[in-house]
Amino acid sequence: MLSDLSRLGDPGVGAQRTIATLATLAACSACAGKPPAAARDVVADVADVAAPPPVPAPSSRFSVPLRYDFGGVVAVAERAVPTTFGSLDSVNAMPGDDRRHFAYQATRGPFTAFANGDTLHLRSTVEYTVHAYYKPIIGPTLSTGCGKGDEKPRLVVDLATPISVSSDWRLVSHVAVARVEPASDSARDHCDVSILHRDITPRVVAAARAGLAHHLAEIDRRIAAVDLRAHAEEWWRLLGRPIKLGDDVWLVLGPERLRIGHVRGHGQILTVPVSLDAHPQIVTGAEPDVESAASLPPLSRKAIANGFHIVMDGLVDYVAASRVVTDAVTGKTLPVAGRTITVQSVTVIPASRGRLMLAVSFTGDARGTLRLVGTPRYDPESREIALPDIDFDLATNSQILQAYAWLRSEELRGLLRQAARWSADPAIERGRDLLHDGLNRRIGNVMTLSAKIDSVAVQGVYVTRDGLVVRGEATGRAGVSVGER
């Protein structure tokens, strides 16, 4: 019904940037006209009104899953853990038997890393050589060993740590030795020394475990030196930039805080579930001079991405609103108290105390302009703006009603009550489209904003000098993915 009522603009003087106004929903070149001369004196008497600032919407939260390739952690472990353990020159006595001795030397292969849930694993294969010695009561010392050829016995070493991020944007780990054991059950991976009459493998396992444990604190210290702050500050600046929705229409996300949940990982990627607390709003005019945060706020805990809430105002301008009512009633002839009048046009103009005035021009047994006033209300069932209490304005109609008292008829009032209805959908839907485009786009070189608008609920209707403001609150879910350049 109201396909051309979607011009957006500042809903009132002084309202720019202080209320979330969705302007310029659709260009309307015919929307800049002035009220007819018969109504201009009324417009001049109306105070310079504006829609009130909206009640602050609940804090919005955007999901920001930060993906971290932990190749850097592998490099840290490589530097912290030696590639060799033990020495064949360091001979150890078997516990409880000073005739049997052994020495071992192990060589560690490169670490590989994988994530499983909230735990990061660093895995390596260790090959080792054992020299065993037996000193009989009589005779020379006997020696033998294992791992002298190309196929040395192997151990699998698995270091594990939960990974999190500290409030100052550093990685936090608590590395522990999760597993040191033979790589297989085959004979190759067990060192069974005949002269010692036992499998020496458990001794090598225990020695390797002790050697690794000695370096765990160093791994934690080096991982703690991995600083994510520089990246996070770049993301923070990008989130603070205004997003252009249209000509002189901007979405400002208003980032306030970042919260972190439980870190999860899969394969080579660690995902840090972060949610962004923000108070996004739509502003009109020149690009907002948004003052970005001086520094990245500390990272908080307990991330709950509960969706976004964005207030937006659509403006139904009076020229287009007048056209809708005029089209519905023009040329209609009404029988009034045995006389007839024919409606020529209706002009919609703002009135005092949040009301609208309908200036009705008519001809017939009487000629002139009648003025009726009513308070606009939004009907959620019909999704229309109506004037359910429309009535004759006695203050401005006194002269014509004194001359033609019969004009104060129920027929005319009923006709206008039915005709003065405007669909709010064009403004709201155009606003939804602009907001959807603004929330689904690339930001800079590393960030992608994505969102789904679940609903737009009309919160109120306000009379301003520039038009009828339809205020809605858009809710939905949104996320920010961060990738590498």
Tell me the two tokens of residue 89. 């020159």
pLDDT at 373: 94
DSSP string for residues in 292-316: --SSPPPPEE-----BEEEEEEEEE
For the cut 50, the answer to whether the pLDDT of residue 53 exceeds it is yes
pLDDT in tens, 449-461: 899 999 999 999 9
pLDDT at 411: 87
What is the band of 423 on the pLDDT scale with cuts at 50, 70, 90?
very high
pLDDT at 298: 85
Between 182 and 23, the higher pLDDT residue? 182
SS3 annotation, 75-129: HHHHHHCCCEEEEEEEEEEECCEEEEEEEEEEEECCCEEEEEECEEEEEEEEEEE
- Lowest mean pLDDT, pick from 32-41, 336-345, 359-368, 429-438: 32-41
Q: What is the number of helices (H) and of strands (E) in the chain?
A: 9, 30
* Cβ within 8 Å of residue 346, ≥6 positions away: 322, 325, 326, 329, 330, 358, 359, 360, 361, 416, 419, 420
Q: Are 222 and 79 in contact (CB under 8 A)?
A: yes
Integer Cα distance of 337 and 140 in angstroms:
139
Q: What average pLDDT does range 114-128 have in this prediction?
A: 88
pLDDT at 1: 31
For the cut 90, the answer to whether the pLDDT of residue 42 exceeds it is no
pTM to 2 decimal places: 0.66
For the cut 50, the answer to whether the pLDDT of residue 463 exceeds it is yes
Indicate the average pLDDT of the chain.
81
For the cut 70, the answer to whether the pLDDT of residue 197 exceeds it is no
Where do we find the tokens 């001795």?
101
The helix/strand/coil state of 229 is: helix
What is the band of 29 on the pLDDT scale with cuts at 50, 70, 90?
very low
Q: What average pLDDT does range 308-317 have in this prediction?
A: 88
What is the band of 291 on the pLDDT scale with cuts at 50, 70, 90?
low
pLDDT at 24: 29
Phi/psi-derived region of residue 253, left when phi > 0, alpha when psi is between -120 and 50, beta in every other case: alpha
Q: Are 308 and 475 in contact (CB under 8 A)?
A: yes
Tell me the two tokens of residue 424. 């709010």
Phi first, then psi, for residue 174 (nearest 5°) are: -140, 80
Torsion of CA 190, 194, 196, 199, to 10 degrees: 20
pLDDT at 60: 87
What is the band of 123 on the pLDDT scale with cuts at 50, 70, 90?
very high
Reported as half-sphere exposure (CB side, CA atoms, 13 A), residue 260 has a value of 21
pLDDT in tens, 200-258: 888 889 888 988 998 999 999 888 887 778 878 888 888 888 888 888 888 888 888 88
User: Quick one: what percent of the chain has pLDDT higher than 70?
Assistant: 85
User: Quick one: what percent of the chain has pLDDT higher than 90?
Assistant: 29
For the cut 70, the answer to whether the pLDDT of residue 8 exceeds it is no
pLDDT in tens, 57-73: 778 888 877 777 777 78
pLDDT in tens, 263-287: 777 777 777 778 888 888 888 788 8
For the cut 70, the answer to whether the pLDDT of residue 412 exceeds it is yes
pLDDT at 349: 94
